[in-house]
Structure 1
Amino acid sequence: MPPKKKVEEKKVLLGRPGNNLKAGIVGLANVGKSTFFQSITRSPLGNPANYPFATIEPEEARVIVPSPRFDNLCEIYKPASQVPAHLTVYDIAGLTKGASAGEGLGNAFLSHIRAVDSIYQVVRCFDDAEIVHIEGDVDPIRDLQIINEELRLKDIEFAQKALENAHKIARRGGQSLEVKQKKEETVLIERIIKLLEDGQRVANQEWTPKEVESINSMFLLTAKPCIYLINLSEKDYIRKKNKHLLRIKEWVDKYSPGDMIIPFSVCMEEKLSTMSPEEQEEELKKIGTQSALPKIITSMRQKLDLISFFTSGPDEVREWTIREGTKAPQAAGVIHNDLMNTFILAQIMKYSDMVEYKDENAIKSAGKLLQKGKDYVVEDGDIIYFRSAAGKN
């Protein structure tokens, strides 16, 4: 018999598995966080003043997710209502050296980071004498090290407290399940403390499902997925060159391996955010580049393992967000809890079939309307009608 194919195991993700996940914008003071927040959300909520700690409380806004599939479905159905997917974004106060010990707005900053599911870390790589850098000059590697250091130091503190609590129970002795679990947990926490002391982030390691469960209970800052946004001058962004980029990549490869680096220009994005779509298109064509915002938004969804399904009809086309691997009843629960609790079946059309046939009846006639039960794992792009015992569809 031929050897069985080795099934590649999917990496177990840290964090909560919910669909309404939140991304926080972090970085040192005056690196462009609040201006980026205003640009990506088209919102005036942020306070992009030219002095440290202009943002005291995190500002929140919902960002519409760019989705050609959603646009196509709206074109096919021409619905009365259109509801795109969104990502919730927070503008968090600027961090400073010593934040882990409470310096500046350190305690508030760290508690706000603890409340989000992922991080956009903005790194300044532009020179501007009019915009004060809190450390005196532009040095992105130093800035990366400061933030990495502060988050790691706070995580070491969290982990040591967790280790102390686990030790208390493990020292009781005996063969109870709780004692056994805490003994295993102490080994895990000691491993976490060691990797943090070595300069590594928890999110960039491989963990078993059982270990993920323990790590999630500690709410570690370095366990959150991170995308590094490299804030360039408009000139450097257009020409795709900057003297710091190679060094930044080397640093990320060493201390945050596998995480994405996206160069962008807050200056350019701010200018574009004041224009109409037609004006934006004309401006981008003139300068020969593209906005980085769509990539920034969709990349974070991928980082969080988020996918979409659709509910479509003449009344409404809506894009819903779930985590990959979600089964049909749980996907129904995103719409309404009653749909999950009284789930009967899911009627599913594939997006590719809708693009081909452009008509539900034609899809049914072709035998491509699928009937799926409770064990069906929703696939990205599914168009779904849920049937429930409560009569809600």
Structure 2
Amino acid sequence: MPPKKAATEETKNNVVAFGRVRKNLKMGCVGLPNVGKSSLFNLLTEQSAAAENYPFCTIEPNEARCAVPDARYDFLCDIWKPPSMYPAYLQVTDIAGLIKGASQGEGLGNAFLSHIQAVDGMFHIVRAFDNDEVLHVDDSIDPTRDLSKFFSFVCDTIQSELCKKDLDILAKTIISEEATVRKAGGKFKMNPLFPSTTTKIKAMLEQDKPVRDGTWTSAEIELINEKMQLITTKPVIYLVNLTMKDYIRQKSKYLPHIAKWVTEHGGLPRDVIPFSVEFEEKIHSFKDDPAALEAFMKDIKVKSRLEKIITEGFTKLGLQYYFTAGEKEIRCWTIPRGCLAPQAAGAIHGDFERGFIKAEVVAYQDFHDLCEGAKSMGPIKAAGKYRQEGKTYTVQDGDIVHFQFNVAPKK
């Protein structure tokens, strides 16, 4: 028998390990007032959420969903042409702007913080353009300062507000856990990791450092997920709102500073996505006039970034999907990454998980390369790419799956 792994084993890339293990996770659009949150939300979801030019135009969070673009899904739909087609969706929430002092009731105060607590990841929109006609909460434009207000520990910043909220959550969790142990009278014992983990979290938060930037073992992450709903464990994608001119020429005096700040504060280069609300709204205005859109895009080398924003948000939440394909329906079934076959079957129906027997699987790329433009699995089977998998199989993104299950009749 192999030796057990040490309890102190480090977990790398643990951002997606934090949070709820569910298929309907949400990304929230957050940032300072008047940076383009509601305008982006409208573009992503084709909704009509208010987007006026004054702080706190959005009070109650707007929620909608947007289809995840995928050429694989489009290919399968073109092959089968079924009457029912269901893509994967990203749930998006538009949240009011946050200002300094939220934890003391400034702006929308703790209501805002509770709205962030209700989502699973954040699109942090940063305004990186000068326009006197658009109000700014601090009456000047400085994206690196705006980022600091959300994520760093400089002088009562928004990051400090989030860390203060998490400190409050942590304190209540500790009190509750200690009270449970006392009331149990020895029948319930505290998790041995609890004191050391909470001490580590407290030390980070008191320095205004997000919990997600720490190095955690899988056991510690499991404990945090079970006992606490911390805001600063949530993954973040930084969306930098440029002018249409800057976006088209792919240059901005602010971008290098923003990219440097993000990488210095635990982020990756891919976590920064430059885009332009102005450019996206211009493209959207041509939605009913393909000829005008073609003329506008003729000499422009850049494309819309909405698809990238959606797919990166979906991936950042640790989500993926598999396909079921047939004459009646093509559907994407959203599951967490690392999901085993029985749990993946449960995304369709709980009975499928309980009565799971096996999964018949073909990787999307194998089907694409071997199907010869037809619906038949014959060529795939002939090539040995159609396989049967059991309960220990980890479903991969883009798998085409047919489940076999057995459900005992109800008594």
- What is the TM-score when the length of structure 1 is the normalising length? 0.91
Instruction: State how far apart, in whole Å, the 1-side matches of 2:187 and 2:406 are.
Output: 43
Task: Using the TM superposition, give the Cα deviation of residue 305 of structure 1 relative to its aligned residue in structure 2, in angstroms.
Answer: 2.0
8 Å contact from structure 1 (residues 329, 340) kept in 2: yes
Alignment of 1:334-353 (within 5 A): 334-353=347-366
Alignment of 1:55-94 (within 5 A): 55-94=58-97
Task: Using the TM superposition, give the Cα deviation of residue 201 of structure 1 relative to its aligned residue in structure 2, in angstroms.
Answer: 1.2
CA shift digits 1:294-341 (9 cap, x unpaired): 111111122122222100012111112111110111111111111111
Matched, 1:149 2:160: yes
Q: Which residue of 1 aligns with 2:382?
A: 365
Instruction: State how far apart, in whole Å, the 1-side matches of 2:10 and 2:219 are.
Output: 18
8 Å contact from structure 1 (residues 123, 140) kept in 2: yes
Q: Which residue of 1 aligns with 2:305?
A: 292
Say if 1:8 and 1:281 are closer, same or farther in 2 by CA, change over 3 A. Answer: farther
Instruction: State how far apart, in whole Å, the 2-side matches of 1:391 and 1:10 are.
Output: 41
CA shift digits 1:141-162 (9 cap, x unpaired): 2222222222122112222332
Instruction: State how far apart, in whole Å, the 2-side matches of 1:174 and 1:251 are.
Output: 50
Say if 1:281 and 1:21 are closer, same or farther in 2 by CA, change over 3 A. Answer: farther
Matched, 1:35 2:39: yes
Instruction: State how far apart, in whole Å, the 2-side matches of 1:327 and 1:250 are.
Output: 38
Matched, 1:380 2:397: yes
Task: Using the TM superposition, give the Cα deviation of residue 273 of structure 1 relative to its aligned residue in structure 2, in angstroms.
Answer: 2.2
Q: Which residue of 1 aligns with 2:137?
A: 134
Matched, 1:215 2:219: no
Matched, 1:125 2:136: no
Task: Using the TM superposition, give the Cα deviation of residue 361 of structure 1 relative to its aligned residue in structure 2, in angstroms.
Answer: 2.2
SS at match of 1:123: strand
Alignment of 1:1-393 (within 5 A): 11-12=13-14, 13-44=17-48, 46-147=49-150, 148-167=159-178, 178-179=189-190, 181=191, 184-216=193-225, 217-258=227-268, 260-276=271-287, 278=290, 279-280=292-293, 282-358=295-371, 359-390=376-407
Instruction: State how far apart, in whole Å, the 1-side matches of 2:182 and 2:353 are.
Output: 43
Say if 1:174 and 1:281 are closer, same or farther in 2 by CA, change over 3 A. Answer: farther
Say if 1:264 and 1:337 are closer, same or farther in 2 by CA, change over 3 A. Answer: same
SS at match of 2:388: strand
8 Å contact from structure 1 (residues 60, 90) kept in 2: yes
Task: Using the TM superposition, give the Cα deviation of residue 10 of structure 1 relative to its aligned residue in structure 2, in angstroms.
Answer: 5.5
8 Å contact from structure 1 (residues 166, 186) kept in 2: no
8 Å contact from structure 2 (residues 10, 216) kept in 1: no
Alignment gaps of 5+ in structure 2: 1-8, 151-158
Q: Which amino acid aligns with 2:265?
A: Y
Instruction: State how far apart, in whole Å, the 1-side matches of 2:184 and 2:267 are.
Output: 39
Corresponding residue pairs, total: 383
- What is the TM-score when the length of structure 2 is the normalising length? 0.87
Alignment gaps of 5+ in structure 1: 1-6
Instruction: State how far apart, in whole Å, the 2-side matches of 1:81 and 1:282 are.
Output: 34
8 Å contact from structure 2 (residues 11, 216) kept in 1: no
Instruction: State how far apart, in whole Å, the 1-side matches of 2:283 and 2:97 are.
Output: 24
Instruction: State how far apart, in whole Å, the 2-side matches of 1:67 and 1:282 are.
Output: 26
Worse overlay, 29-38 or 95-104: 95-104
8 Å contact from structure 2 (residues 11, 217) kept in 1: no
Q: Which amino acid aligns with 2:124?
A: Q
What percentage of residue pairs aligned between the two structures are identical?
Answer: 45
Say if 1:310 and 1:241 are closer, same or farther in 2 by CA, change over 3 A. Answer: same
